[in-house]
Chains A and B, each alone.
Chain A
Amino acid sequence: MDLAYTEEEEEFRARLREWLAAVLPRLPAKPGPDDWPGRRAYDTAWQRMLYDAGYAGLHWPVDAGGRGATPTQHLIFLEETERAGAPYVGANFVGLLHAGPTIAAEGTAEQRARWLPPVLRGDEIWCQGFSEPGAGSDLAALRTRAVRDGDHYVVSGSKIWTSHAEVADWCELLVRTDPAAPKHRGISWLAMEMDAPGVTVRPLRTLAGSTEFAEMFLDEVRVPVSHRVGAENDGWRVTMVTLSFERGTAFVGEVVACRRTLAALAAEARRGGRWDDPVLRRRLGRLNAEFRALWRLTQWNVSEAQGTGGVPGTGGSVFKLRYSHARQELYEAAAEVLGADSADLDREWVLDRLSSLSYTIAAGTSQIQRNLVAERILGLPKGR
C-alpha cells in the first residue's frame, strides 16, 4: 500500500501544471449550454491545444497515436486538469473515450489511420448510436437492421438518447446484421457518417431544459462495408472490449470536481450563517468522507489496473454505483445550503442538481450495475 507518487510522476505533474497555468488564461469565454456550434468549437479548440502540447490520447497506445502513458499518469492528468479548471472533454467524449478506443483495439491499420488522428486533433466529433426505443438496459435487443447490398450495408431503424448527435461527424452504430442468430451474436459495429442521406436527427429536450441528446432516424442509410470494425456479427464483443478501456480512470475528474464543490458549499454555508446548524454541518462532513473515499477507491482501481497490465478489475461497477448516488446527494445538500435560492436556475449548483439525476440512469442504470455486481463479482445465480 503506497500512496506516494514516484519522482517521475511528480515531474510529469509539475510540467503539466506549468503548461496549464500558461494556456488556460488564453481560453475563449465558455459558450452557453444551448449554443451547440459554440460548444463544439470550444471543446475542439481545447482538444487541439492538448494535441499540440502532446497531451492528446495520453493513455492511448503509442501505435494508435497515443502517448502510452501509465494509468497513474493518466490519473494525474485528469486530476490536474480538473483542479486547474480546464474544460471537460465535452463533445469529444465518445471519440476519445469510446469510439476511438474501440477502433484502436479492434480496427484495421487503415481504419485507425483514417479515424484516430482526427479524434486526437479535435477535428472530428463522434456520437454513440447504441440505445433504441426498444433496447435500453437490454441493449442486445436492438433492432436497427443492416442489410448487405454489394460493398455497402443499407441501414434502417431508429436510435434514441444519442448525446451530441447534432454536432457529430460520425456515429458508432450498433446494427443487427443477422436477425436469425441469438441476440448477442447478430450485431455488428459500424462507423456511420452523420451527413449521409437518410439520417435524420431530432433533438430531445432534457429535464434540465437543454438538448443534450437526440433521436436519430435511419432510413436506408448506405454505409460502406469497409466502415465495419471487427467481424460481421461480432459487434457485441467489439463493444464490450471498449467498455474496459478506461482502466479505472473514467470518473477521476468528476471526483475532484465534487470535492471542490463540497468545499465551496461549506464556504457558502458559512457566508450564509448556516454553518452553525449541526445537522447541515454533519451532512457535509459525511459527504467529505464519501468523496475522500471515492478518491481512494479510484486510486485503488488505477493501481489494480496498473498491476494487471491494463485489465480493469471489478472496481468499476462498485465505483459507479456509489459515485452516482453520492453526487446526487451532494446536490441535495447544495439545495439545503442554498435554501430559497435553490429554486433559482441562475444560482450555481441548481442546474447541476438537475443534471445529476441522469447519473443513476446513463451508462448502465444502478439496478443493472447491482445485477452485475451480484452476478459477476459475488457469483450469485442469474435470475430467470
Chain B
Amino acid sequence: MDFQLSDDQRALRAGVRELLAGRFGRDRMRAALDAGTGIDRALWRELGEAGFFALRLPEAEGGVGLGLPESVLLFEEVGRSLLPGPLIATHLAAGPVKGAAQGEAVVAVLDPGQSVAHLGEADALLVLGPGGAPRDAARVRDAADPVRSIDPFTPLWRIAGPVEADDPLPGGERLRDEGALLAAAEQLGSAARTTEMAVQHAGTREQFGSPIGSFQAVKHLCAGMLVRTELARCAVYAAAVTADPVEIAGAKLLADDAAVRNARDSLQVHGGMGFTWESDVHLHLKRAWLRSGQWLTAAAAEEVLAGDLC
C-alpha cells in the first residue's frame, strides 16, 4: 500500500496547473467573466490537444491511457482555476461522441429533472439515467428555456418536457458515478483554493495592529477549512483508486461540504471585500453550490451510504 501521489502523478498535476495558470490565470478569468462570452473554443481545442479529454481513452484509440486517479488530479486543478464549461461531460464523452476527445465538440450533460448547463453552446448531450445516450443538443434546445443562472460562468437551461433516451451507451451506468467523482475532484480543488485565499488574506490584512490571522476566531476558521479539505482529499483520491460507488458517494458528499463551507468561511475571513463582485470568493461559492446539485446530490449520496450499512 502506498496511498500517496506517484512522481508521475505529481508531474501531471504540476503540468495541468501550469497550463491553466498560463491560459486561464486570474486576469483572463476576470476578463472572461466581464465579457460573458461563454466557452472559449480555442482553449477547448488546446485542452483537447493536451490530452485533457482523451486522458482515459486507451492509447490504441488515440488516448493517453491513464486512469481515474489521474483524471481526478486534472479536475482538481479545474476546480482551483474556475475554468468554466461542461468539462466533465466532454471528458466522459471522449470516445462515444465524435470530436469530444480532440476538444472539437462541446458535450453537455442532461440529467432528467435538472437544469442543463451550457446547453446553448453544446454540440451534443450526454443523457444520464437509463441509457445515458448522447443526444442531439439542437433538438433539446428547442424545448428548453434559458435560466438566469446564479453562477455567472455557467449558463443554465430548463427543460420543459420529458426526453426519450437513444440507444444505451456501453458502460453508460458508470457515467453518473464517474461524473460525481470528477465533480467531487473539482469541489476539492475549489475547497483548497478558498482555504489558500483565506490564509493569504488573514496573514496580510491588519486590524487592531495585528494581522487578523493572529486572532483565534479567524485562525480556527482557517484550521477548519484545512481539515475539511484534507479529509475530502483522502475520500476523493481513494474513490478514484477503487471506483467503488459507495466510496464515490462518500467522496462527493464530503467534497461538496468542503467546497461550500470553505467558500463561505473564506468569504467571512475576507470581511467586506468578501461580499464584493471584485473578490473571487463568490465565484467559488456559486460554482460549489451548483456542483452540489449535480451528478449526485447530498440526499442521494447519503442514501447510497446508508444502503451500504445494511
Contacts and interface: CB of A to CB of B under 8 A. Distances in A.
Interface of A: 1-6, 9, 72, 262-263, 265-267, 270, 275, 281-282, 284-286, 288-290, 292-294, 296-297, 299-300, 302-304, 306-307, 315, 318, 321-322, 367, 369-371, 373-375, 377-384
Nearest to B249: A289
Contacts of A307: 2, 4
A5 B250 contact: no
A371 B3 contact: no
B224 A370 contact: yes
Interface string B197-227: 0010011000000110111101110111011
Nearest to B199: A378
B299 A282 contact: yes
Interface range for B: 35 or more
B89 interface: no
A3 B230 contact: no
B2 A303 contact: yes
B214 A381 contact: yes
Contacts of B237: 1, 296, 300
A282 B306 contact: yes
Contacts of A381: 203, 210-211, 213-214
Smallest CB-CB A-B distances: 9 pairs: A285-B306, A289-B250, A285-B302, A285-B305, A266-B309, A374-B219, A373-B223, A282-B302, A380-B213
Query: Secondary structure at chain B's binding surface: helix, strand, loop or mixed?
Result: helix
B230 A297 contact: yes
Contacts, number: 171
A322 B3 contact: no
Interface stretch (B107-115, B141-149, B239-247, B260-268): B239-247
Contact of A1 (B5, B220, B231, B304): B5
Nearest to B242: A3
Contacts of B127: none
A380 B202 contact: yes
Q: Which of A289, A299, A304 gathers the greatest number of chain B CB atoms within 10 Å?
A: A289
A286 B305 contact: yes
Contact of A296 (B69, B235, B249, B307): B235
Contacts of A377: 226
Given A285-B303, A285-B306, A378-B222, A3 B1 contact: yes
B309 A285 contact: yes
Contacts of B219: 370-371, 374-375, 380, 383
